[in-house]
Chains A and B, each alone.
Chain A
Amino acid sequence: MPSERQTKRDFVAEHVRSIPRSGIRDFFDIVQSMDNVVSLGIGEPGFVTPWHIREAAIFALEHGKTGYTSNFGLLKLRRAICAYLKEHFYVEYDPNTEVLVTVGVSEALDIALRAIVNPGDEILYHEPCYVSYHPSVRLVHGAGKAIRTRAENRFALTAEDIAKSVTPRSKAIVLNFPSNPTGATLTREEVEKIARVCVDNDLLVITDEIYSELTYSGQHSSIAALPGMKERTIFLHGFSKAFAMTGFRIGYACAPTALTEAMLRVHQYSMLCASIISQEAALEALQKGMDDIAAMREQYRLRRNFIVKSFNEIGLPCHMPNGAFYAFPSIRETGLTSREFAVQLLEQQRVAVVPGDAFGPGGEAYVRASYCGPMSDMEKAAERIALFVRGLK
C-alpha cells in the first residue's frame, strides 16, 4: 500500500498545481454515485460510430495494420482531408506539408499552443467556452485572456469585443464556432469582421471547428477560407463529433508549412503518430460517411427543437442554438446559482446538466443541456425539469 508519508519536496510543477480542478470533474463524481439518472451532461454524440466505419477499423486490424505511420499521418488520409476541406470549407491545404493528423482536436490544440506560445504571451479566447482552452494555455506558460460573449448576441463573439481586449502582448486568439457550450455560430459577415480585427492586430487565429458539420441553418463559414487569413490561421478539426468517433481519438491540424513544421516538431517527439487503426477508420468516414453526417444532424435538429421548446415552456429562457448539440438555458429566474440548480435538479429529479460556470465565470446563471442523447431521454428530462422548476416556486 502506498503510504501517505510526506516527501520533503513537492514534486508537482507550480504551473500545474495552479490549474484548478475541472468543475465538470466535481460534478461527475456526484452523478456517478447515483442511479437512474437521465443525463443531458454528455459532451459526445449519442450515436455509436456508423458500422461501415467500425468495419473499416476491423478490416485494418485483420490485415495487419498495427504499426506506426508517418509522423504526419497516412498520406492517403491527408489527401482525403484536403479534398474534404476544399469541397466543404473552401480552403486549400497541401497534403504533403500543411496537414498533421493528431490524436483528436485535443492533441491538435495542445501542439498548436506549444508551437507558438512563448512564456507570457497573451492568448485570447471567448468565454463561456470549452473547458480545455484556459488550462491548455497555462500549461504552455501563456497568459489566457477571456473575452465574454453575451446572451443578447446569442453568445456570438463580436469584432468590437476583440478589439477592446487586444493588447500589445496578444499573440493569438482561439475561436470555437459552433461553440461548446453555447451552440453559438457566426455568420459570414461576423467572421469577416473578426478576420479584419485579427489582421489589423497581427493576431494568429487558432480555430477549433470540430462542430462545423453540426450547423443547422445557413452554411458554416471557416475563417481560414477568407482572403489573407490562411497564412495566420491554424485550423483544427476532427472526427469525434461529425462522425460520432470520440473513442477513436482522431483529428487534425492544418496550417501553412512553417507552422505545420513547428507543430510536427512537438508532435513527433510527444506523440509520434496517431493510431493507424483510427486513421484507416477516418479515411472510410471521409470517403463514405457524408450521409451519416446528414442523418445524425437531422436527428439532433429534432431533439434540439424539442428541448429548447420545452425549456421555454418550463420558464427557463433558452435561445435556439444554431450549432453543436448543446442548449444553454438561463436559470437566473430561479434565484439559484448554476451549481445549486444543477445539484438540486440532480438530487430531486435525477437529471444531470452541467452548471454553466464550469465553462468560465461568463457561464454563471446558465446550464448546459446537451441534446445528443436519444429522444426518449429528452422527453423524460423535460418532464422532470418541469417538475423541479414548479417545485421551486
Chain B
Amino acid sequence: MDPLLKLLEEHALRTPVDLSKMLNLPADEVQRRIKQYEDDKIILGYKAVINDDKVDTDLVKAVIEVKIQPEREGGFDRVAKRIARFDEVTSLFLMSGGYDLLIFVEGHSLRQVAQFVAEKLATLDGVTSTGTHFMLKTYKEQGVMMDGPEEYERLKISP
C-alpha cells in the first residue's frame, strides 16, 4: 500500500506540506495523488473517531447476526446490498461460520433498533433468522483506545 494512504488512514488531517516532508515528495505530487485516490473511490471519506461516552448522545449500537437464504444467481449480494441501504446500518459484512451477515446498526433508541429488526430486517425475503446484541461499552474503536493512547513520561534527555 502507498505509504501516503497509510498516513492518511491513521491521521487524515495532515497537510500536504507535512506529508510531503515525511514522504520526501514534492507537495504538489502529494496533492495530485490524494485527488486521484478520491476520484478513484479509493479514499471514500474522512471521519473523526469520537468517544461517545464523553459526548451527550442517545445513540444505541448493536450488532446483528443474520442468516439468509442464498440465491441461485448472485448468492448473498442482492439481499446484503438491500440491507446495507438502510440508514441504521453503519457496517455490513459477509461472514464465514454460523451465520451469513454481520450488521452493525445505530439508532436513537432501543425502540428504533428493535423496530428496524422486527419490521425491516426480519421481514425481508431471504432472511431466515436474526440475533441482535446491544453494545454496552466501547474499549477500543478503529484501532484507537478509548481512554487515549498509552503514555508515560520519559526522561527528557537521555544518552
Contacts and interface: CB of A to CB of B under 8 A. Distances in A.
A17 B97 CA distance: 71
B150 interface: yes
A133 B159 CA distance: 12
Contacts of A375: 11, 22
B157 A309 contact: no
Given A298-B3, A306-B18, A41 B157 contact: yes
Contacts of B154: 42, 44, 46
B139 interface: no
A48 B152 CA distance: 9
Contacts, number: 58
B156 A43 contact: no
A358 B3 CA distance: 36
Contact of B157 (A39, A303, A305): A39
A22 B158 CA distance: 11
B155 interface: yes
Contacts of A39: 156-157
Interface in B103-126: none
Counting chain A CB atoms within 10 Å of each CB, the highest count among B23, B151, B154 belongs to B154
A42 B157 contact: yes
Interface core residue of B3, B156, B159 (most chain A CB under 10 Å): B159
B159 A24 contact: yes
Contacts of B150: 48
A379 B23 CA distance: 14
Contacts of A44: 154-155, 158
A309 B17 CA distance: 11
Contacts of B155: 28, 42, 44
Given A298-B3, A379-B18, A309 B24 contact: yes
Interface in A232-259: none
> Interface size for chain A: under 10, 10 to 19, 20 to 34, or 35 or more residues?
20 to 34
B94 interface: no
B159 A22 contact: yes
B157 A31 contact: yes
Contacts of B11: 375
Contact of B156 (A31, A131, A180): A31
A43 B159 contact: yes
Q: How large is the interface on B (under 10, 10 to 19, 20 to 34, 35 or more residues)?
A: 10 to 19
B127 to A, nearest CB: 39
Contacts of B23: 302, 305
B7 interface: yes
Nearest to B158: A43
A37 B159 contact: no
Given A48-B150, A298-B3, A306 B156 contact: no
A32 interface: yes
A24 B157 CA distance: 7
Contacts of A109: none
Contacts of B151: 48
Interface string B124-159: 000000000000000000000000001110111111
Contacts of A310: 21
B159 A130 contact: yes
A42 B152 contact: no
Contacts of A180: 159
A24 B22 contact: no
A318 interface: no
A122 to B, nearest CB: 24
Q: Which of A31, A306, A309 has the most C-beta atoms of chain B within 10 angstroms of its own C-beta? A: A306
A378 B155 CA distance: 17
A37 B156 contact: yes
Given A306-B18, A379-B18, A354 B157 contact: yes
Contacts of B22: 302-303, 305-306, 375
30 contacts: A27-B157, A28-B156, A31-B156, A31-B157, A32-B156, A37-B156, A42-B155, A42-B156, A42-B158, A43-B157, A44-B154, A44-B158, A46-B154, A48-B151, A48-B152, A132-B159, A298-B3, A302-B3, A302-B7, A302-B22, A305-B21, A306-B18, A306-B21, A306-B22, A309-B21, A309-B24, A352-B156, A352-B157, A354-B157, A375-B22
Interface of B: 3, 7, 11, 18, 21-24, 150-152, 154-159
Interface of A: 22, 24, 27-28, 31-32, 37, 39, 41-44, 46, 48, 130-132, 180, 298, 302-303, 305-306, 309-310, 352, 354, 375, 379
Closest 6 CB pairs of A and B: A41-B157, A302-B22, A43-B158, A28-B157, A39-B156, A306-B21
Given A42-B154, A48-B150, A375-B11, 19 more contacts: A22-B159, A24-B157, A28-B156, A28-B157, A31-B156, A37-B156, A41-B157, A42-B157, A43-B159, A44-B155, A46-B154, A132-B159, A302-B3, A302-B23, A305-B21, A306-B18, A309-B21, A352-B156, A379-B18
